[in-house]
Structure 1
């Protein structure tokens, strides 16, 4: 049941993305009818099952954006952007909405080959009724698992394999997805912090130099951040920081 609901959510998102640039089509209002059941125990049981399915589907739909971004490149990108913003000592610039928007479009760019494979091997054959729902689900999961396997390291996989107390898998197909996803997330956070550390070093040096100059001039009451901020922004602009940062981030997923 969860597999079917997950596939329906993913199919809906893919359809939205594939038809985003298409021209508007005529919208016909469907006929709506209301029926009153006879109140028998059989009908009550069916209504209860249907209500639970709708409740579960709505729950998955509400969590779908958060779930989907966790097994994409979004996590690494947004963490690096947040660390860069902190290193530059910029509280509200750029706004969080701008950084999230950039991270989303970079995620779409990086994950485009994966979504194209899902669309070609799972969505279109399923809509054409060439494969079953189970086959469509498997064809959807396989490209995503392949992407995560290409990014995760063996240490993270071993950590969650040992925690789950399962036998060491011999092949990638033997590793359950519920172990692969947290291992992938831990590895993404680790790589993001490594990149963030390298970003922090030049800006930290500027802060130390400015603080030393102010102390030598006896201006101990003047916050060094006020003086160092223009120099950090100037350094980032002269080095074409956005070009280098985004280019390096995209290359880490290749």
Structure 2
């Protein structure tokens, strides 16, 4: 039973006491749909933007340096988040101009606004998705090859985009690891030649890796590579 005090609350389009009016039910369902979308917002941010590629590459950098928890996770996530906003700014701007503002002005309906808002995101994901990955999900879903980006369903595009981002991030991570691996091998070989087998090579190679990373302005190169990759 709903308490009387709740029944007396007036919310536009929502009757807590129950309603048989179809328009009231429709507004209530739209509200539930909006709350559902907000609840999965972190998943949308991770799998439908460039966030995944950036955070994986930054994690590879930290692992390659061997600094363990330095920089901290909060710093890496914060940097990845703001880089995501920077890279996705044109997409968000287009959504605001073609979907949100016309909807707030009453020029288009909610359904039309949703359809218009999805298109820029689809375009961004399609441009960064490999045809092989997208064809995989079309094959198992038994879907025909689309003639345009608008015809690509999100149920196939999102996972295809995600695995494409993972592959690209691991490719960049492999390139990042090579110079650090060379330093580890040189230090380990030198220590073994000197008979200092009991001294952990990591203790000696870590300062050299940090020095090399600072001298070549590593953070600048990593961020530049990430920006160019999009």
Per the normalisation by structure 2, the TM-score is: 0.86
Report the CA distance between 1:65 and its aligned residue. 2.0
Residue number in structure 2 paired with 1:171: 148
Residue number in structure 1 paired with 2:14: none
4+ residue segments displaced more than 6 Å: 44-55
Query: 1 or 2 for the larger relative contact order (CA 8 Å, sep ≥6)?
Result: 1
Q: Distance in 2 between matches of 1:133 and 1:45?
A: 22
Alignment of 1:104-253 (within 5 A): 104-253=81-230
> For the structure 1 residues 138 and 48, does the alpha-carbon distance in structure 2 shift closer, same or farther, using more than 3 Å as the test?
closer
* 1:108-151 deviations in Å (ceiling 9; x for gaps): 11000000000001111101111100111011000000111111
Report the CA distance between 1:217 and its aligned residue. 1.0
> For the structure 1 residues 118 and 96, does the alpha-carbon distance in structure 2 shift closer, same or farther, using more than 3 Å as the test?
same
> For the structure 1 residues 52 and 115, does the alpha-carbon distance in structure 2 shift closer, same or farther, using more than 3 Å as the test?
closer
* 1:180-208 deviations in Å (ceiling 9; x for gaps): 11100100000000000000000000000
Unmatched 5+ residue regions in structure 2?
10-16
**Quick one: which of 26, 45, 54 aligns to 1:68?**
45
Partner SS for 1:236: helix
Partner SS for 1:43: coil
Residue number in structure 2 paired with 1:8: none
Unmatched 5+ residue regions in structure 1?
1-32
Report the CA distance between 1:53 and its aligned residue. 7.1
> For the structure 1 residues 44 and 140, does the alpha-carbon distance in structure 2 shift closer, same or farther, using more than 3 Å as the test?
closer
